[in-house]
Amino acid sequence: MKLNTRAVHTGDRKRTGSWIPVTTPIHTAVSYFYDDAADLERVFANEMPGPNYSRHGNPTNDALEELVASLESGAQSGNGALACSSGMAALNLAIGAALLDRRRVILAASALYGATISMLMKVLEPSGIETVFVDFNDESAVAAAIAEHKPGALLLETISNPLLRVAPLDRIAAMAKDAGAQVIVDSTFATPLIVRPLELGAAFVVHSLTKYLSGHGDVLGGIVVADSANIDAVRTLAKALGPVLGPFEAYLAMRGIKTFPVRMERQCANACRVASWLATHPAVERVYFPSDPAHPDAAIVKRLFAPNLYGAIVSFEVRGADRDRIFGLMNAFRLVIPATSLGDVQTMVSYSAMSSHRELSPKHRARLGINDNLLRLSVGIEAVEDIISDLDQALKV
């Protein structure tokens, strides 16, 4: 089945006795028992399918995990995904699983979400996991860093936050495989509609469910999808650490995913129009968007991305703006929502220096190219003319 069809149907309609619910119910039970205690023993021993305790698995979560594993080409023997309480929890779980039997060294892309950088430097490094940052768009630098540091895992984003760089994921995965390292990809910005990292050689792909997959700003969650060699490690760690998603959130996420391909196609199309318009505006100094033929990674985008889909994030710099000017612009929006998230049906704007990369020092942000006049726009599904009209009036204030 095509991805759009799987998004609607996969995971649902599990038989319960003689009846079949059209959509997956919310299973709130924490624990489960069976008519025969021996069956419960077989469930605990993974000799028989079924729930026993919700930290180990819940029917609502199972349905969501089956769905996302299908969309991302995860392991198909059992659920190849695990839903977590947040995107950061999912990323932490993926890193833990990747390094279980490998050197505790991570080779990380220098362009990453600010919270990810903080986790690597402030949480994992003090616990004995070394992180080495490198420009993943420089293949020779990646190869040299792999040879020197012998990492157990490589970590990158499909589309980097917020400057929208696109690394040669397929070639990086090949280098990692030769070195015996695992590749972890945060693909929140791309979604499985645009790129499926496991098909390109990654071992783990992580999403913030909060963003495009759920898409309505009402779910806090994350998910890690793994290949067949790694999903058991993910589940073993999850049972011990317990970062699992609640069934209410799992239900909402699954409901959102049913329309995710349709929403994402519209958002990508709107983003292309908005990026082109911003590039002509006199108040805009620079626009960052992967469809631009002059994008530094245009050849990689053409090779890896689905045709005519470039994501729905547009970042841009306001000419000559300082922080006060940026705050004034954000206050002037009437339709665009100045909020610290992305991927919702409504268009949202975020100031990276204040939100996503707030924990980094000004010098660190400057080294990454995240200037104080940079805004990140998450383009929604509204009429694109209305989005552009609101941007225009705000930029004139």
**CA-to-CA distance for 259 and 4, rounded, in angstroms?**
8
Q: Which one-letter amino acid corresponds to residue 139?
A: E
Please state, in angstroms and as integers, the Cα–Cα distance from residue 199 to each residue in 11, 73, 75, following that order: 21, 7, 11
Neighbour count for residue 19 (Cβ, 10 Å): 6
Write the secondary structure of 112-134 as one string of H (helix), E (strand) and C (coil): CCHHHHHHHHHHHCCCCCEEEEE
Q: What residues are annotated to the active site? A: 55, 113, 186, 211
pLDDT confidence of residue 352: 86
DSSP state of 226: E
Buried b (16+ CB within 10 A) or exposed e, 317-330: bbeebeeebbeebb
Average pLDDT (211-239) is 96
So what's the architecture of 3-257 in CATH? 3-Layer(aba) Sandwich (3.40)
Q: Is the pLDDT of residue 77 over 80?
A: no
Sign of the Cα torsion 254, 256, 259, 261 reads negative
pTM comes to 0.95
Q: What is the pLDDT of residues 254-306, one digit of tens each?
A: 999 999 999 999 999 999 999 999 999 999 999 999 999 999 999 999 999 99
pLDDT confidence of residue 98: 98
Sign of the Cα torsion 369, 113, 136, 289 reads negative
Smallest Cα–Cα separation from 391: which of 306, 270, 291?
A: 270
21 with 56: CB under 8 angstroms? no
Q: Where are the domains of the chain?
A: 3-257, 260-395
So what's the architecture of 260-395 in CATH? Alpha-Beta Complex (3.90)
Q: What is the pLDDT of residues 15-59, one digit of tens each?
A: 777 788 999 999 999 999 998 999 899 988 988 988 989 999 999
